[in-house]
Amino acid sequence: MQSEPLSEQDVIVLFNQLVAGGVIRGVRLLATSQVSQYDGALRYVAEKPFANLTFDKKTNPLGVYEEQLQKEYVGPPKILEYKYSLDGLIREFESGYKLESDVSLAVFWDFGQEYKRDYSVTSLLDFDHIHHRPHHGITHLIRSANSRFYAICLRELIELLNDPDEAQRLQKARYSDDI
């Protein structure tokens, strides 16, 4: 990467580049909007060859276990939210402008700090938790008392791709209490 995202627009561009470049696979973007209540929609898909989606520590650390890929599928439309920091989305949940239960995937650069008040995080970048990853590229499962949604934290995804061993240490240190 030549520069880190500085805004939500940068996050959208980086995510789209990662999807278009095949780093994140099995996501079909359906829509993006700057004026709707929610930022976009997507479908999860699994198409052959499944090897492109299958986890391998060295060659495909964002993959899922082979056992999860029994047949091809195209999932229903899901709500997608982009933020620079997860803090922004949490503030929208707290204000009632957006509902946790509506959001399927949040894509952001950085976690921020506000999630620690009411949310627990399971890192799916921690190789001990791959079995919780339902789709290629998903980095975290975020849960509250009432809901759960998946996330892609782009900063941490890139950390994993750049140095998988150090990323394992960091993921365990950051989120081991949240399990």
Return the pLDDT at 177: 63
* Ranges of residues in the chain whose predicted pLDDT is under 70: 1-2, 177-179
The C-alpha atoms of residue 136 and residue 143 are separated, in whole angstroms, by: 19
**Cα dihedral angle (56, 78, 156, 129), rounded to 10 degrees?**
-50
Return the pLDDT at 179: 44
Q: Is the pTM of this model over 0.85?
A: yes
Burial 91-122 (b: 16+ CB within 10 A, else e): ebbeeeebebeebbbbbbbbbbebbeeebbbb
